Amino acid sequence: MGFSVCLDKDACNGCEDCLEACTTGVFEMRNGKSSPVNADECTGCQSCVEICEQNAITVAETGIEMSDTFKALLRDIL
């Protein structure tokens, strides 16, 4: 199952708690704000959602795990 990681940059205060909470290294700091640069690594554990006092992070199941072939096809179509 895949997961999408959304981050509200306006709400983020740059505390870096989510970087420490995420064991798969999804987040990196960019210009003083957290950014889910490695969202493909998300396991959906929700640790970052729970630790963020700003409620800046949303993690949701995408419902489908797209294969590399399907992603390539989508890129061709779009």
Compose the 6-45 pattern: x for residues touching ligand SF4 by CB under 6 A, - for all others: -x----xxxxxxx--xx-x-x-------x-------xxxx
Q: Is 1 in the site for ligand SF4 (CB under 6 A)?
A: no
Least CB distance to ligand SF4 at residue 27 (A): 7
Give Cα 39 distance to the centre of its chain: 4
d(CA 34, CA 72): 28
Give CA separation, 44 vs 25, 55, 62, 74, in Å. Answer: 13, 16, 10, 24
Nearer Cβ to ligand SF4 (32/73):
32
- The CA radius of gyration of the chain, in Å to the nearest whole number, is 14
Which residues are at the interface with ligand SF4 (CB under 6 A)? 5, 7, 12-18, 21-22, 24, 26, 34, 42-48, 51-52, 54, 56-57, 59
